[in-house]
Amino acid sequence: MHYADYKTILSPQNGMNLYRGCSHGCIYCDSRSLCYQMNHDFEDIEVKRDASRILESQLRRRRKPCMVGTGAMCDPYLHLEDELGLTRQCLSLIKKYGFGLAIQTKSARILRDLDILKAINAAAKCVVQITLTTYDEDLCRKIEPNVSTTLERFHVLAAMRDAGIPTVVWLSPILPFINDTEENLRGLLDYCVKTGVRGIVNFGFGVTMRDGNREYFYNWIDRLFPGLKQKYIRQFGKAYVCDSPNSNRLSEVLQDVCERQGILHNSDAVFSYLRV
């Protein structure tokens, strides 16, 4: 961990990231890509110094409350959050100034802040977004080793449902030849239906790879799934978008379940819901 000075916390689009880097260890993480110009080791988390003070100054200057989004580039509930409580401090300010919140995580640590999330939702709007990738718990521990398992995230979704807080699930990435099965997808969708999620975000069934995260991913699948690295290289080369051969069938299943259950699954409609 190290600190760095920043002039702003909120982006012009009202996005908020309090940390840079991650300790979750997900083998496919796009945030490792070189294009993001992170000049420190990914696991050496950069903490934005005086984040809550800077955020409060920015919130005061906003002409009217809006939805603040966080978790897109860096999970707000890293292991460091237990020690620093930076996310909780900033959520308290969002509540204080009457802003809404769209927060994304893979961690059950979010339950620590359920009191603030409920207060934000009562006064404005709060949407909790949870990423799900694999229904199999053993597989989850392999590809997402240092974060809450899928079952634990299911319990988070259930807790939010019981608290009256709407949820959105991100179904991504679905890794070709690893978790791109209909059985896996139906298991995850069953969790979504049981917890009454409002929407599902899915940009297709596959994974994206760029310089930086591709090498890390290949290193890990070579360890975890011997021979699979060579299959990826033959199938995808250095492509950015690596679609599963099962994409069409999986898309049909997703659309069918969402339409029958009344779950938003059009990306534009889901993002519109998150912004307003």
pLDDT in tens, 82-114: 999 999 999 999 999 999 999 999 999 999 999
What is the CATH superfamily name and number for domain 2-275? Aldolase class I (3.20.20.70)
CA distance 76 to 131: 13
CA distance 48 to 3: 6
State if pTM tops 0.85: yes
pLDDT digits (tens, 9 = 90+) for 180-230: 999 999 999 999 999 999 999 999 999 999 999 999 999 999 999 999 999
Largest CA distance in the chain: 56
Exposure b/e, 160-175, CB count within 10 A at least 16 = b: bbeeebbbbbbbbbbb
